[in-house]
Amino acid sequence: MAISHKEVMAGLSPEMRTRVEARTQELIEEEMTLRDLRSVQHLTQKSMAEILGVEQDSVSRMERRADMLLSTMSSYVEAMGGKLCLIAEFPNRRPYAVKLGDLTEKGSTPRRRKATGLRTRAASTTA
């Protein structure tokens, strides 16, 4: 027969229960959705919309989005008083903080590289 979480916790010493509860909270705080972050800051979608200068439904869509621009996420986090940091993790190496440019700066979008002469060379060989 399976033992419930409550039964396991009841069998622990008060000190161990405190440690388990603290670690549980740490793990919960390690990964949060944008909605979770907003809730922790005691902000509503309506108040976030006012700060960001958008409609409430835009905040709702942003929170459900699985893929977004870093500048959008940065603006969202900054509106809550935070700062967006990006960490790159590789096998057998320590994590590295990726330095991001000023994401709010105009013209910060990456420029496309000019095409190399491959097309020109290929066209000249077929002629």
Q: What is the pLDDT of residues 49-90, one digit of tens each?
A: 999 999 999 999 999 998 999 999 999 999 999 999 999 999
Residue 26: per-residue pLDDT:
75
Nearest to 45 by CA among 63, 34, 59: 59
SS3 label, residue 20:
helix
Using a 10 angstrom Cβ sphere, with 0-12 exposed, 13-18 middle and 19 or more buried, the burial of residue 58 is: middle
Q: What is the DSSP letter of 12?
A: S
More confident residue, 29 or 24: 24
Question: Of all helices (H) and strands (E), which one includes residue 5?
Answer: helix 5-10
% residues pLDDT > 90 (the chain): 46
Would you state the pLDDT for residue 103?
A: 63
Q: How much is the pTM?
A: 0.57
Give the DSSP letter string of 58-99: HHHHHHH-SS--HHHHHHHHHHTT----EEE--TTS--EEEP
Can you give the pLDDT at residue 120? 45
Q: What is the pLDDT of residues 89-102, one digit of tens each?
A: 999 999 999 887 76
> Number of C-alpha atoms within 13 angstroms, CB side, residue 106?
0
Q: pLDDT confidence of 109, banded at 50, 70, 90?
A: very low
Phi, psi (5° rounding) for residue 4?
A: -75, 160
